[in-house]
Amino acid sequence: MQKVYLDNAATTQVRPEVIAKMQVALSDFYGNPSSTHSYGRSAKTAVEQARKTIAKTLNAKPAEIIFTSGGTEADNMILRCAVRDLGVKTIITSKIEHHAVLHTAEELEKEYGISLRFVDLDTYGNPVMDHLKSLLVQDDSKKLVSLMHVNNEIGNIVDIHAIGTLCRAHDALFHSDTVQSVGHYPWDVENTPVDFFTAAAHKFHGPKGVGFAFIRKNSGLKPMIFGGSQERGYRAGTEPFHNIVGLEEAFVQSYDNLEDEIQYVKGLKKYFVEQIKEAIPEVEFNGYSGDLDKSTYTLANVRLPFDKQKALMLLFHLDIKGIACSKGSACQSGSNMGSHVLNQILAPEELEKPSLRFSFSKYNTKEELDYTIGVLKEFAQS
């Protein structure tokens, strides 16, 4: 049985260079970065070097990079602290955001009595800019807009510059969950009108359990986790040094090889879209995921022409054949509610058909895609 991993939007294979760097960190640099002796100073120096490396690539200031356990913690920290510390009374988001944003905003509505508003979406799942503008001018409350750059299920890319410019014009803060774009797209924060964004190392071939928040200098945010003075006082707790240097190495490798890897993975997606259309002509693409210009090059979300009974066996059949993909985000794998993203953009009759997310990386090959499409075609004809 062939083994094919096409669930890279959930997590990615760790690069060998990252593993090697982490092994050295674990074996040779085991001091606590907060300790003042030589072991601690060595670890602390490496943590700060990682911060500088990431900041330089993003055209940010080192003090604006705060290491976290990943995107979920970073999203929670930014939204919660913006309400608690910055006087935010209204959060504007969309119903297809990651649950790290949606559930946090819902809890803030309960805890602090903030107003939670949702921007309208077009039929493809993109925010309607005129409606966003109307929400921004609806009242004089302090507002925070939270809209993700690349949707983790359907791959739509929003115009982050247009949204940020609109927010600044109306004195609103702008946060973006950029977990699916950091490491896959170039960034220049000095020329991007965003106040906060988030990243997770395991989305770009780094270790799980580490990421970072970009918090623009002089934001006014205060700590969410209290204790020591680590992470500029934003996040107490001993730094996971081995994970941070792994994050740095994955980040460096991603951006050093960015253009070549974009072209390679984009070629895989183009090939997948062409071949699955040929093999199963009735296939549809959710959101803009079939469009190479309007969606990320890293994933395709397909809707297959199978009835309900057949749909029940689809993921099981693919797993038996050694193919890993997902019905939606991995964060929802234990839920029977279906994809909250697709529920917002598909008609009831479209929701009756099974949808699958296939996501690609530098480690995939066209031969793997041929095998996967062959299995789908065989299943369709059975």
Q: Which residues are catalytic?
A: 331
Question: Which of helix, strand or coil describes residue 27?
Answer: helix
Dist CA 223 CA 37 (whole Å): 27
Region label for 155, one of left (φ > 0), alpha (ψ between -120 and 50) or beta (otherwise): left
Question: Which of helix, strand or coil describes residue 207?
Answer: coil
**CA angle centred on 160, ends 185 and 289, rounded to 5°:** 65
The alpha carbon dihedral of 34, 36, 42, 44 has a sign of: positive
Place of tokens 């079939």: 290
DSSP strand E in the chain: where? 4-5, 65-68, 90-93, 115-118, 143-146, 173-177, 196-200, 211-215, 284-285, 299-303, 323-324, 355-359
SS3 content of the chain, % helix, strand, coil (to 5): 45, 15, 40
The Cα-based distances of 245 to 15, 69, 121, 237, 331 in angstroms read 13, 13, 39, 17, 26
Question: Which of helix, strand or coil describes residue 4?
Answer: strand
CA 114 to chain centre: 25
> Which residues sit opposite 92 in a β-bridge?
117, 145
